[in-house]
């Protein structure tokens, strides 16, 4: 608690009433806890009073009832002290006025007229094409309605399309290139939609992350997201002005993050937008999964993945423009962004969207939005339905009508059978149909959705015997009345076009009612994790994608049993943390939502120890009684006690942004002995982050000085070597001697600059004539090939270089073959001349891309060199250069230090006598490009 001081306490009646209410709430939350010092106006809700999100909601509800006010929806997030709550009370409207506002009649929400060109929507291969189709079909039709405390804002398809073009043009003006990553750290707003589609329109890749929640979580937020942004190599972040301090702290830790911008700053005339070719296989979204910042996992999803998933879900859910989707789900999460926003946009149905803070502050607002807008579709995690059961008073539901709600999807976390039953019973008097309750299953690696039950069936619960499941992985039906049985909810069957299988630890598929790992495949499946080849390799097994979840199949229905990484193996039994946590959290004295159950290695026995971490405000002798009660609760569930119960102060259990318990992170803290440490104040966190940022800035400045020194040294060495080598080359009698001189000079330059240079596969070069084809990434490429290859090859270069005084005279001495790129007749003549050169016993060295760009990746290959090889029936030898784009990319003249490598591949078989010349050239081009692309795959990711 806050240290005692001599500052006077307020004597205002409202302040005194609030302090008394806070004290009473603390006593009610932990009735067995010893007496706490009284709350003060400057007491921190986090640090001093240890109020987590659920406890804050309870306090806010009591404040609204006691003071008859309707607190602003952001009070849950913004209030840091009791004084902030007092200020919110003084500024809040009366509860009666707010209740009337929430229940006022709905304005017109017309539906789109039938459109003849439905095939255009079905033929769309990218998300911008989908938006453009809707803009042409019905530009005035409402796409989204943002609901806030007192008002609503509507966004049409035409406005969304126009706004996205303005954002795209502004991003181009800011220097963002296609393929680069742009982070979105925005609260729920219409600007979010403009920014997301604006990023897509100019060919960049959106990386949604969540905004900072409270000042007390600042350090954790910055450190976690710095790892994500660095992994994504984000170049620009869009955020609100209030979060610029956080943005600058992130910028200090992420070297690629060049700029911060607000949505208001990203507005430019749409006619300045340069067209970008966007394809279905291009990345449309990188979803970073919850986990350790040390190894972030960004799920790569293409336009094709998202559209396949949305179209499959549309069919299963029978979604149509006549529906209305109501959502409070965060837009930085796949369920809110893809399932709610993009799904609604594709189908053409209105999306009613509100901030997650609106729901968390008053869950009934979700239900009233369904009532007001006659919502038919909505989705939420299990905790949201539970929150409605526990936090909504009957008086707040007076007049509520949920009769329009045809699908209440429950997913994104484990689904509780008790929650399903209780929610249906509680809200059926308000028109909710029991069959509307729909458990579903999905994961980011499948875009969003994977398993859905039949429409109109309602939940299906399976009771299975505990011991056979725990010891033998057999999900055998339990006898009626078996109190020890475990209950699991069916999530239905896979989406059309997708398949699932259950496999054992050896990867063998198992049969009916055998529990194992759930794997799937289908068009919605990601191609892997961004810049994380090790994690990607572990994701796929024989073409199937590992979900990381355990499940079994019964009568065609899939039942999820738990996460693989969270399951505890103790004495040959599989223990499921969730049901243990549910039992412990029900113990009097344990904080709601403050329990984590995990396994700890036990080298002595070779198995895992069962550890229960539970938060409590109790102290002293009361802890011994609570410890015994927790042990009894675990005994009742498992039939045996836990190995250790750790009772810790509030805010010890770590959670994700969506409220899921981070069991692995809790286990790491436990093993490191960090459990129970008090979180520092927001000021201390900010100071530590500032000091860390300054150290990083100084280190980065030192790095820049070192890089500048290297660049100056390299340019000096080049300036000293180039003139004499150029003069000596002009005096050489033949291309062979010029090549030898150039090779020696190039190798000396690399040695003098300290650049590592490695050559592989030279022994694969044919003794006779051939055509070498190489990727082109830098002005250094020619120098590296001269340094690497033992004998001269006739470079093929553009005609424009021939007449240059310095470069042209040097290249002529090397025996370069100049070709015309633009005039068709001359170009054909040059191609024939090259073929004749090869037939006469010469060898060519071709850059089939023709030019190079700064962005990693191969450009299309021109056919000329391959036609020359096919016409002369000589082999094509693919060559790959690695590292040159990093050392000296396009449009840059200051080199960077880095390793360089030239690798010669195996010769490709030449054209056979009976093979058509053109067909052979195409075959050789495809084979050469595939080999070069494969060799570059890892290098290009590292360069990004």
541 beta partners = 544
pLDDT at 807: 65
Q: How confident is the model at residue 605 (pLDDT cuts 50, 70, 90)?
A: low
Instruction: Calculate the CA 510 to chain-centre distance.
Output: 32
When computed from its CA atoms, the radius of gyration of the chain, rounded to whole angstroms, is 33
Question: What's the mean pLDDT in 744-754?
Answer: 91
Pick left, alpha or beta for residue 765 (phi over 0 → left; psi -120 to 50 → alpha; otherwise beta): beta
Output the six-digit token pair for 43. Answer: 């007491």
pLDDT at 779: 87
Question: What's the mean pLDDT in 81-98?
Answer: 73
pLDDT at 598 over 50: yes
Span 442-453, pLDDT tens digits: 998 999 999 999
pLDDT at 221 over 60: yes
Specify the 3-state DSSP secondary structure of 923: helix
Q: How confident is the model at residue 35 (pLDDT cuts 50, 70, 90)?
A: low
Answer CATH for 709-943 from 3.40.50.300, 3.40.50.1820, 3.30.950.10, 3.40.1130.10: 3.40.1130.10
Question: What's the mean pLDDT in 545-567?
Answer: 89
Span 182-218, pLDDT tens digits: 999 999 999 999 999 999 999 999 999 888 766 556 6
pLDDT at 803: 62
Question: Which of 67-81, 334-348, 595-609, 635-649 has the highest average model confidence (pLDDT)?
Answer: 334-348
pLDDT at 9: 42
Q: How many residues does the chain have?
A: 944
Span 285-309, pLDDT tens digits: 999 875 433 467 899 999 999 999 9
The C-alpha atoms of residue 168 and residue 176 are separated, in whole angstroms, by 9
Question: What's the mean pLDDT in 250-266?
Answer: 92
pLDDT at 78 over 80: no
* Alpha-carbon torsion (719, 721, 722, 727), positive or negative: positive
Specify the 3-state DSSP secondary structure of 650: coil
Span 472-481, pLDDT tens digits: 899 999 988 8
3-state secondary structure 392-450: CCHHHHCCCCCCCCCEEEECCCCCCHHHHHHHHHHHHHHCCCHHHEEECECCHHHCCCC
Contacts of 213 (CB under 8 A, 6+ apart): 77, 221, 657
Q: Are 273 and 197 in contact (CB under 8 A)?
A: no
Output the six-digit token pair for 404. Answer: 């329009």
Span 398-412, pLDDT tens digits: 999 999 999 999 988
pLDDT at 885 over 60: yes
The C-alpha atoms of residue 43 and residue 22 are separated, in whole angstroms, by 10
Regarding beta strands 568-570 and 817-819, do their DSSP bridges make them parallel or antiparallel, or are they unpaired?
A: unpaired
Among 562, 557, 534, 532, residue whose Cα is nearest residue 547? 562
The C-alpha atoms of residue 647 and residue 212 are separated, in whole angstroms, by 28
Q: How confident is the model at residue 832 (pLDDT cuts 50, 70, 90)?
A: low
Match 């954790």 to its residue by tokens. Answer: 220
How does DSSP classify residue 351?
E
pLDDT at 839: 78
CATH 1.10.1750.10 fits 461-563, yes or no: no
Span 238-247, pLDDT tens digits: 999 988 988 8
CATH 1.10.1200.10 fits 27-102, yes or no: yes
3-state secondary structure 470-536: HHHCECCECCCCCCCCEEEEECCEECCCCEEEEECCCCCECCCCECEEEEEECCCCCCCECCCHHHH
Q: Are 670 and 646 in contact (CB under 8 A)?
A: yes
Q: Are 309 and 444 in contact (CB under 8 A)?
A: no
Q: How confident is the model at residue 775 (pLDDT cuts 50, 70, 90)?
A: very high
Pick left, alpha or beta for residue 923 (phi over 0 → left; psi -120 to 50 → alpha; otherwise beta): alpha
Domain layout of the chain by residue ranges: 27-102, 118-139+152-305, 461-563, 568-672, 709-943
Kindly report which listed range (99-113, 433-447, 868-882) carries the lowest average pLDDT score: 99-113
Q: Where are the alpha helices (DSSP H) in 233-354?
A: 244-253, 303-317, 334, 343-347
The C-alpha atoms of residue 5 and residue 184 are separated, in whole angstroms, by 43
The per-residue pLDDT of the chain, averaged, comes to 83
Task: For residue 79, give Cα distances in angstroms to 7, 74, 338, 653, 682.
Answer: 21, 8, 31, 22, 13
pLDDT at 65: 76
Instruction: Calculate the CA 424 to chain-centre distance.
Output: 33
* Cβ neighbours, 10 Å, residue 511: 9
Span 454-473, pLDDT tens digits: 998 889 999 999 889 888 89
pLDDT at 3: 42
The C-alpha atoms of residue 340 and residue 327 are separated, in whole angstroms, by 7
pLDDT at 291: 45
| Planar angle of CA 647, 652, 657, nearest 5 degrees | 140
CATH number at 118-139+152-305: 3.40.50.12780
pLDDT at 641 over 90: no
Q: For residue 492, report the phi and psi dihedrals to the nearest 5 degrees.
A: 90, -145
pLDDT at 273 over 60: yes
Span 497-525, pLDDT tens digits: 999 999 998 889 999 999 999 999 999 99
Burial level of 673, CB count in 10 A (0-12/13-18/19+)? Answer: exposed
Query: Dihedral through CA 342, CA 347, CA 353, CA 359, nearest 10?
Result: -90
Match 């060898």 to its residue by tokens. Answer: 843
Q: Are 193 and 341 in contact (CB under 8 A)?
A: yes
Output the six-digit token pair for 421. Answer: 């039953």
Answer CATH for 568-672 from 3.40.630.10, 3.40.109.10, 1.10.10.10, 3.30.300.30: 3.30.300.30
Are 27-102 and 118-139+152-305 equal in CATH topology?
Answer: no
Output the six-digit token pair for 667. Answer: 């286990």
Question: What's the mean pLDDT in 613-619?
Answer: 84
Span 334-371, pLDDT tens digits: 889 999 999 999 999 999 999 988 888 889 999 999 99
Among 723, 708, 711, 719, residue whose Cα is nearest residue 753? 711
Q: Where are the alpha helices (DSSP H) in 731-852?
A: 735-753, 781-788, 805-814, 824-839
Output the six-digit token pair for 556. Answer: 């065609």
Regarding beta strands 298-302 and 351-353, do their DSSP bridges make them parallel or antiparallel, or are they unpaired?
A: unpaired
Among 408, 411, 164, 442, residue whose Cα is nearest residue 301? 442
- The percentage of the chain sitting over the pLDDT mark of 70, rounded to a whole number, equals 85
């Amino acid at each position: 608690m806050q240290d005692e001081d001599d500052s006077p306490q307020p004597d205002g009646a409202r302040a005194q009433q609030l302090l008394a209410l806070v004290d009473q709430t603390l006593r009610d939350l932990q009735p067995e806890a010893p007496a706490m010092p009284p709350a003060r106006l400057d007491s921190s809700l986090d640090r001093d009073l240890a109020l987590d999100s659920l406890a804050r909601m309870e306090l806010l509800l009591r404040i609204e009832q006691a003071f008859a006010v309707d607190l602003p929806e952001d009070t849950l997030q913004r209030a840091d002290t009791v004084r902030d709550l007092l200020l919110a009370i003084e500024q809040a409207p009366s509860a009666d006025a707010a209740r009337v506002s929430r229940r006022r009649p709905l304005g017109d929400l017309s539906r789109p007229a039938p459109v003849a060109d439905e095939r255009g929507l079905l033929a769309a291969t990218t998300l911008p094409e989908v938006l453009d189709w809707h803009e042409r079909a019905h530009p005035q039709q409402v796409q989204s309605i943002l609901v806030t405390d007192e008002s609503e804002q509507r966004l049409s398809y035409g406005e969304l399309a126009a706004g996205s073009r303005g954002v795209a043009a502004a991003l181009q003006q800011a220097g963002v290139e296609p393929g680069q990553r742009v982070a979105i750290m925005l609260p729920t707003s219409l600007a979010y939609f403009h920014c997301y589609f604006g990023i897509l329109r100019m060919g960049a890749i959106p990386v949604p992350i969540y905004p900072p929640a409270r000042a007390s979580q600042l350090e954790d937020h910055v450190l976690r997201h710095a790892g994500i942004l660095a992994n994504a190599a984000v170049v620009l972040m869009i955020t609100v002005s209030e979060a610029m301090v956080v943005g600058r702290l992130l910028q200090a830790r992420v070297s690629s993050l060049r700029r911060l911008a607000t949505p208001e700053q990203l507005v430019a005339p749409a006619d300045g937008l340069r067209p970008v070719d966007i394809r279905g296989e291009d990345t449309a979204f990188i979803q970073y999964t919850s986990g350790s910042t040390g190894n972030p996992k960004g799920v790569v999803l293409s336009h094709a993945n998202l559209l396949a998933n949305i179209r499959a879900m549309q069919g299963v859910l029978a979604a149509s423009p006549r529906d209305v989707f109501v959502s409070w789900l965060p837009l930085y999460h796949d369920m809110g962004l893809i399932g709610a926003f993009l799904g609604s946009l594709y189908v053409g149905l209105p999306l009613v969207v509100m901030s997650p803070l609106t729901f968390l502050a008053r869950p009934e607002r979700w239900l009233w939005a369904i009532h007001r807008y006659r919502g038919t579709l909505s989705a939420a995690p299990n905790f949201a339905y539970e929150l409605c059961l526990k936090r909504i008073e009957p008086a707040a539901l007076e007049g509520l009508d949920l009769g329009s709600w045809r699908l209440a999807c429950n997913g994104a976390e484990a689904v509780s059978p008790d929650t399903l039953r209780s929610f249906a019973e509680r809200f059926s008097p308000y028109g909710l149909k029991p069959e509307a309750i729909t458990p579903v299953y999905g994961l980011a690696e499948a875009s969003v959705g994977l398993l859905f039950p039949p429409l109109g069936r309602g939940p299906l619960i399976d009771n299975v015997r505990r011991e056979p499941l725990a010891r033998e992985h057999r999900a055998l039906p339990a006898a009626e009345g078996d109190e020890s049985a475990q209950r699991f909810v069916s999530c239905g069957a896979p989406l059309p076009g997708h398949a699932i299988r259950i496999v054992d630890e050896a990867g063998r598929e198992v049969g009916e009612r055998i529990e194992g790992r759930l794997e799937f495949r289908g068009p919605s499946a990601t191609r892997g994790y961004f810049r994380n080849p090790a994690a990607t390799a572990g994701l796929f097994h024989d073409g199937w994608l590992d979900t990381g979840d355990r499940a079994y199949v019964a009568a065609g229905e899939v039942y999820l049993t738990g996460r693989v990484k969270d399951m505890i193996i103790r004495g040959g039994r599989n223990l499921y943390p969730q049901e243990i946590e549910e039992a412990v959290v029900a113990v009097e004295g344990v904080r709601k939502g403050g329990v984590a159950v995990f396994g700890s290695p036990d080298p002595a026995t070779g198995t895992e120890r069962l550890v229960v971490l539970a938060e409590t405000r109790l102290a002293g002798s009361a802890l011994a009684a609570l410890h015994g009660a927790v042990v009894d609760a675990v005994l009742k569930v498992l039939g045996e006690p836990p190995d250790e119960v750790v009772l810790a102060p509030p805010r010890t259990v770590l959670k994700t942004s969506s409220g899921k318990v981070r069991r692995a992170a809790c286990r790491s803290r436990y093993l490191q002995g960090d459990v129970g440490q008090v979180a520092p104040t927001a000021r201390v966190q900010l100071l530590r982050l500032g000091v860390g940022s300054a150290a990083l800035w100084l280190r980065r400045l030192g790095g820049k000085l070192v890089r500048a020194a290297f660049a100056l040294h390299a340019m000096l060495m080049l300036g000293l070597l180039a003139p004499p080598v150029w003069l000596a080359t002009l005096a050489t009698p033949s291309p062979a001697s010029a090549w030898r001189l150039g090779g020696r000079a190039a190798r000396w330059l690399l040695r003098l600059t300290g650049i590592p240079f490695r050559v592989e596969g030279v022994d694969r070069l044919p003794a006779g004539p051939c055509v070498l084809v190489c990727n082109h990434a830098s002005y250094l490429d020619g120098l590296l090939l001269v340094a690497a290859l033992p004998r001269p090859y006739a470079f093929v270069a553009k005609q424009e270089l021939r007449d240059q005084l310095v470069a042209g005279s040097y290249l002529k001495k090397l025996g370069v073959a100049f070709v015309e790129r633009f005039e068709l007749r001359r170009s054909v003549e040059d191609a024939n001349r090259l073929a004749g050169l090869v037939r006469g016993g010469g060898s060519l060295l071709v850059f089939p891309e023709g030019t190079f760009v700064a962005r990693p990746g191969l450009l299309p290959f021109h056919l000329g060199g391959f036609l020359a090889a096919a016409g002369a029936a000589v082999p094509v030898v693919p060559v790959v250069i690695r590292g040159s784009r990093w050392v000296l990319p396009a449009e840059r003249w200051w080199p960077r230090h880095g390793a360089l490598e030239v690798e010669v591949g195996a010769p490709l078989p030449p054209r056979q006598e009976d093979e058509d010349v053109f067909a052979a050239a195409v075959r050789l081009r495809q084979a050469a490009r595939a080999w070069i692309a494969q060799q570059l795959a890892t290098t290009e990711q590292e360069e990004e």
